[in-house]
Each structure stands twice: as C-alpha cells, then as structure tokens.
Amino acid sequence: MTKDSIISYDKTSIQVDGHRCFWVMGEIHYSRVCRGKWRDELRKIKAGGVDVISAYTIWIHHEEEEGEFDFTGDRDLRAFMEEVKASGLRMFLRIGPWVHAEVRNGGFPDWLLEKSKTEGFRLRSNDAPYLAYVRRFFTEIFHQVEGYFLKDDGPIIGIQIENEYGHVGGFTGEEGVSHMKTLQAMAKEIGYDVPFWTATGWGGAVTAGLLPVMGGYCDAPWEPGTAPLPPSVNYVFTKERNDHNIASDYGIGEGITFDMQTVPYLTCELGGGLQPTAHRRPVATGKDTESMTIAKIGSGVSLIGYYMYHGGTNPKGKKTTLQESKATGYPNDLPVKSYDFNAPIREAGQLTDSYRRIRRLSMFLKVFGEDLAEMEYIPQPGNPKDPSDLTSLRTAVRCHDKRGYLFVNNYQRLYPMADHRKVHLTGRDETGEVLCDFGECDIKNGDTFFYPFRMKLSDTLCLQTACATPLTILYGADGRKTFVFYTETGMDRFVFDGAWTEDVEVMVLTPEEALHAMKIEMDGEEYLIVSEGDVIEGDGGRQELIWTVDDEKRESRRPEFRIYPQPVAEDFAKDFTLVSPGSCTQAAGEVAMIDAASMAHYQYQEELTAVSLAECRHCPQRDGKEVYEVSVRQKKDAIRPLKEAYLMIDYDGERAELYQDEELIRDDFYTGQTWEIDLFRYDKTAFEARMEIEPMTEDMPGQTVYLEHIPEFEGGKAAKIRKVRVVEEYRLSL
C-alpha cells in the first residue's frame, strides 16, 4: 500500500489496488509502554503477524492540566510515530476524544468535567464550549502526527472517531449522528486525511456513515455480578456481528445502526485477553482467544483486530492516579498501575501462548487471506445458534467458486463440549449440495480447526481435501512452493487431484510444531523456523532468536531451532552448530510430502544458565497487609549480555503492590497467575522493592469477587509469597 494506491471496500472486505485484504490488527497504547521499549515491542508485534496497529490518544495523558500539553517521555506521540514508520507497520489512530480504555474518566481530564459543570455544557455533544476544547485537543494531536499519514508515505491509514458512542454515554438518534459527523468534519478541517474513517458499531453505537468496526470478548470483567457467565456467543458461527455483552455494565445496547449488506465485517476489539477488575478476574487463555478468532473467521470476518494486543502500565499522574475507578463514577475498580490485560504481549513485554496461537493464524492469513476475504460465509445444516447448546457440532463454510474451507469449533470457554466420534464431516453450499467430504472424523471436546477443499497448488495439481489446517506457503528463490499444514493425523488424510510437478511440495507439522513455527525471509528466500524461542527482527534487519532461561530449572540448556530449507549463507547462525542437515525422501512421480525431520537442526555453541537470583524476606505487617522485601541480584557474570530479566512472583492474596522509595511502581490483582515484572526499566544490575499483599478472606470468592483460580487459605485468609524466581532473556543473532 502506497500513497498512490486505490483503496476501497465493499460488503466483503477492504481492497487495495484491486486486491482483497485480510489484515490482523493489534492495539498498543504508547503512553502505557516505556519509550525505550517501543522499537523492540513493535518488532515483536510485527513478528507476531500483525499488519496494522491501533492506538488511542488518551486526552488525560496529554492534557491532565488545562492548556499544558505533555508530549514528553512515554507520551511523545511524534517519536512513537517515527518508530511505527520505521517498523513498516500500518496504523489506525483512535483519537477519541472519549476513549474508555479503562482509564480515568474514559480519558477526559478532570478539568474538562469540572468545566462542563461550571460552564454548563454537555460532554460528548455539539455544545460549542465542548467542541472548542475538543478542537484544541484534536489540533495538538494533529501537530504530533502531521507528516505520518499514508498520503505522506506514512503509516496512518485510518482514524477512529469517538468510542462506543451512543452505547456507553453520548447521544443516540439524530443528535448522536450529528455529533459524530461534526467530530469527523472537525478532524478533516484540522488536516487529518486518511482512507478509512471508522466508528465502533456494537451495542447500537452511532456510526453515522463511518465504517463500523466490531468487537467480541470471551468473558466480561465489567459485568456487575460475581457468578460465572453463561456460554459466550463468540464461540458459535453466526451472521450476527453484534456482541451485546461488550460494556454491558453500562446497559445492553440494542441492534446496530448500519446496514450489514453494504459494509464488510471488520473487528477492532476482539479480546486479545481480559483486564481484571476488582470484582471479576477471568483469565483468558491462548485457547480461549484462538477458538474465538476461528469462530469469527468462519463467520465471515475480513479484519481481525485485537484489543489489547500489548499490555501496559498506567503512567504516573500529576494530580491523580489515572485508572478507571468507582470513585470517579465509573462502574469498575482497576489496578492503579497495571493494564496488563493478559494480552498476547504482556505488560512487561513477555510473549505468551496467545501470541503464538495468533501468530499461527496470522501466518495463514498473510498467504491465504486475499482468497479467504473473497469467500462468503455459508451457514451449515445443524449448526447451533445458541452457545448453550454444547452437544451439536458447530461448523461453517467459507467458499468462492467451489473452493474454500470447512471450519469446526468444538470449544466453549469454561464449558465442556460433547465428543463426536466417527462423524461424517461434510460442508454444503446454500442449496444443500455437498461441497466437500472429509470422511469419518473423531472430533473431541476442545478441537478447533479449519480444513481446505479444492485448494490449488499449481496449474496442474489440486488438493481436493485435507484433514489438516494450512499454515503458510514458503516461496523459494528457484520458484519452488512449499505448502505447510499442521494436523494430528499426519500425512494420511490428503487427497490430491492432477499431475505433480517438481516445484511443489507439502510439509506436514504437528499442531505443537506449528505453534512454534515462524516464517522469515533472507536473500529472497523464505524459510520456516521451528523453535521453543521466538524470532524477531533485530538491528540491521538481522533475525534474532529470543531465548529465556529460568533460574528454577537448574539444568544448563543450549538454545536450538530447526529450519527449512537449510540456508546456504556462510554467515547464517555463526554462533550455532549444525547438528543435522535434515532430509527429504519421496517416491518418483508422487507429491513431495515432508515433515519436521526434513528441517536442518541447529544448536547454540554454548550453554546458557541463570545468572541472577531472586530472594524475598518476610517483614512486619503494615496496615493489615503482609509485607515482604523482594530483591534480585546477579550471582555471576553472563556469558553474553542479557536483554531483559523478569522477576516472577507466585503469591496468594487479594492484590499486591510493589514500592520503591515509597512510590508505587507496579501492582496486580490476584488471578492465580504468576506476577511478572520486567526489571531493566528500573535497574540492570540489581533490584529491590517492598511488596505489600492485601489479604483475601475465605468468604470473598464468589461473593465479592469472581475468581477462576482460588488461592490457598490458612486460618481463613490468604496473604503470602509462595515463590520468587528470575527468568532471563537473551537475544541470539541468526
């Protein structure tokens, strides 16, 4: 996409220069991430398969005091834009002015709320005083991003106006439409110039002719109750685009305000995780997120947008703390500092199972997405619409010109699904005619997949069906194409039609191998790497392997990876030893079918062991809280420089806080997960802090707080550190 590209959309997808697009988008809030980490975090995002980032410009982060705009440090939007441009990512800028984002006042500065009372104007309306303050804010943001629009060869391709307008506050009907149009006209007049103008479309929000973007979460930390929620509709295949449960703490919205037959199904807020609140603390797993995503893809989505994709930390306010809270009239209490969101990339920059599962899907979409975007969603006979139906098999087809994919989702978060033994798996068109037949299959509780039918491999060879999920295609410099799939069933369930050619081969991985697979390009050749570590681009464009060492695992370890095809460059992975070159055997005249054994195996020349040690000491109580001194020190020199070190704390309690010099630096609401703190933002040589744990009493779970992991109680309460350790991160050049 360039400034000269022809950009449009229809009811199916976005199009750029006549090509349909199926992008993956991920939200990151620059003002919640350390400026010194921006470059590295954007590289992780890109390596995870994200094409476009989205970001709120949070008003209270930039103008906490009236007329005093702050674009310094982590708030330096222009510096962030430069990093985005250098990364090669595209960007949707969500300028508000109200953003929600679990931030104080939904992003409005306190002084604006006070002025609305003293000057008598309505917030989020066309009242002249309000619009004057918005114009000033929009203008300041514009000065920061000027020169970074697509028309300038910059990364910004879209602007979102407002957020959940008419659903969470604001006005509905003609007044709401008028306000949204006024904000868009104001932004254009100031100078914002982009191909896409969007508005959130769920819950009856006012879209006012802007391109609607939708959402869906696997649970609802904002729900007022503390009981488990019923099965989520986001795990069924359906034409319904509206998730009525988003922001249901503000009241369930009705319907939608746009014509689904004229706009594509795009999302901006599929939950990449969930942000715990004081009263609800669901934990979104990678499987939760992946299965929900596959359900949306099978239902006709043509843009997957995650909120959040990267967690963060609330900045320090000048006058107040900056989190959403009941004290400011909002329905939830959130951590003062943590906006971790259990996102694919966590608050401290850690890569998670969710990250790898999304990457696995993104690899597919980058190669096959243009074709998939052309394919219509076809509801299947017997597919249930009610997520409480846990026995019927959930299937969907996306198809165009008799080619496409059969989707199966036998997963429902927190609820077991029925097993389906020896089910005859078929996909049908709108008339009931069979499009594809995969034969008898065993589908277990938790299975989520999609299978191709009539996939063109070359001019003479077609993959009629395969009980395997496509991952990617490797394009060789010599014209060879390697189609990569993953499945539990091996190579036995592939049905080909036509003549095999030497420039086509098929690689079959296990799902676990595919979870740790990454595609890279070097010297015009594409390669597939499989490793426990993750690969991102480093300085100078060279690929780097992220490898972590856990001090709890005392054994020495050599980093390793497999790669296909074997690189021939002499300077490739020069600090690694080639353990085995891999092999590929096939019968003459047959399709080349290979597996992970065909990959060359490399191992690092040195063993990496933990060089740091974490300790904790129990101290006298403070105000009823259990107090510990926690510290990390290096016990020996590292073989090579560490990129990062993480303090890992397992504790029981209601919540925990870390202080240095009496200043709160990090906090956490207990969910049962390990609390992970990146240390190098504080000190690269040593770390000391005071940790305070608020006790949880035995009567709280299910009464005052919803928990999925219950702590250990002693004497009716839980408030102790169970374990501390350090995980260290290295970067190894390939």
What pLDDT does 245 receive?
Answer: 61
> Which of 375-384, 554-563, 610-619, 701-710 shows the lowest per-residue confidence on average (mean pLDDT)?
554-563
Residue 1 belongs to a domain: no
What pLDDT does 663 receive?
Answer: 98
d(CA 381, CA 411): 19
| Of residues 104, 227, 94, the one with CA closest to residue 162 | 94
Of 606, 627, 662, the residue at which a domain comes to its end is 606
User: Are 239 and 293 part of one and the same domain?
Assistant: yes
Average pLDDT over residues 402-412: 99
Q: β-strand 52-56 against 90-96: which pairing, if any?
A: parallel
User: Are 155 and 180 part of one and the same domain?
Assistant: yes
Q: Is pLDDT above 50 for 102?
A: yes
Confidence of residue 556 (pLDDT cuts 50, 70, 90): low
Neighbours of 440 (CB within 10 A): 9
User: Are 408 and 293 part of one and the same domain?
Assistant: no
Residue pair 651/724 in contact by the 8 Å Cβ criterion: no
What pLDDT does 263 receive?
Answer: 95
Q: β-strand 448-456 against 461-466: which pairing, if any?
A: antiparallel
Q: Is pLDDT above 70 for 146?
A: yes
Token pair in block for residue 105: 């006042």
Q: 494 has which bridge partners? A: 466
Confidence of residue 248 (pLDDT cuts 50, 70, 90): very low
Residue 692 belongs to a domain: yes
Q: Tell me the pLDDT tens digit for each residue of 272-282.
A: 999 999 999 99
Q: Where are the beta strands (DSSP E) in 263-317?
A: 267-271, 280-281, 303-307, 312-313
Q: Tell me the pLDDT tens digit for each residue of 352-396.
A: 999 999 999 999 999 999 999 999 999 999 999 999 999 999 999
Of 456, 481, 507, the residue at which a domain comes to its end is 456
Confidence of residue 260 (pLDDT cuts 50, 70, 90): confident
d(CA 545, CA 557): 14
User: Are 623 and 712 part of one and the same domain?
Assistant: yes
User: Are 227 and 366 part of one and the same domain?
Assistant: yes
Q: Where are the alpha helices (DSSP H) in 155-275?
A: 173-190
User: Are 31 and 100 part of one and the same domain?
Assistant: yes
What pLDDT does 246 receive?
Answer: 57
Residue 8 belongs to a domain: no
What pLDDT does 249 receive?
Answer: 45
User: Are 387 and 363 part of one and the same domain?
Assistant: no
Average pLDDT over residues 107-122: 98
Q: Is pLDDT above 50 for 252?
A: no
CATH number of the domain at 35, please: 3.20.20.80
pTM of the model: 0.97
Average pLDDT over residues 176-197: 98
Q: Is pLDDT above 80 for 307?
A: yes
Q: Tell me the pLDDT tens digit for each residue of 452-488.
A: 999 999 999 999 999 999 999 999 988 999 999 999 9
User: Are 619 and 577 part of one and the same domain?
Assistant: no
Token pair in block for residue 568: 């021939």
d(CA 363, CA 535): 14
Does residue 147 come out as left (phi exceeding 0), alpha (psi in the -120 to 50 range) or beta?
Answer: left
User: Are 363 and 402 part of one and the same domain?
Assistant: no
Q: Tell me the pLDDT tens digit for each residue of 492-550.
A: 899 999 998 889 999 999 999 999 999 999 988 999 999 999 999 999 889 999 999 99
Total tally of structural domains belonging to the chain: 4
Average pLDDT over residues 23-50: 99
Q: Tell me the pLDDT tens digit for each residue of 574-607.
A: 999 999 998 765 544 577 889 998 999 999 999 9
CA terminus-to-terminus distance, the chain: 29
Q: Which amino acid is at 489?
A: T
Q: Tell me the pLDDT tens digit for each residue of 204-226.
A: 889 999 999 999 999 999 999 99
For the chain, what percent of residues have pLDDT higher than 90? 88
Residue 467 belongs to a domain: no
Q: Which amino acid is at 520?
A: I
User: Are 405 and 518 part of one and the same domain?
Assistant: no
Q: Tell me the pLDDT tens digit for each residue of 636-657.
A: 887 788 999 999 999 999 999 9
User: Are 172 and 248 part of one and the same domain?
Assistant: yes
Q: Is pLDDT above 70 for 554?
A: no
Of 370, 402, 417, the residue at which a domain comes to its end is 370
Total residue count of the chain as it appears in this document: 734
CATH number of the domain at 648, please: 2.60.120.260
Token pair in block for residue 592: 């080349």
Q: Is pLDDT above 70 for 255?
A: no
What pLDDT does 589 receive?
Answer: 54
Average pLDDT over residues 333-349: 98
What pLDDT does 253 receive?
Answer: 39
d(CA 359, CA 82): 25
692 or 255: whose pLDDT is higher?
A: 692
DSSP string, 470-500: EEEEEE-TTS-EEEEEE-SSTTTTEEEEE--
Average pLDDT over residues 402-414: 98
What pLDDT does 306 receive?
Answer: 99
d(CA 259, CA 139): 32
What pLDDT does 635 receive?
Answer: 85
Residue 464 belongs to a domain: no
Please state at what angle helix 77-87 crosses helix 128-145, rounded to 10 degrees. 50
Residue 546 belongs to a domain: no
User: Are 259 and 350 part of one and the same domain?
Assistant: yes
Residue 25 belongs to a domain: yes
Token pair in block for residue 290: 């992946």
Token pair in block for residue 598: 């065909």
Residue 551 belongs to a domain: no
Structural domain boundaries, residue 212: 19-370
What pLDDT does 591 receive?
Answer: 77
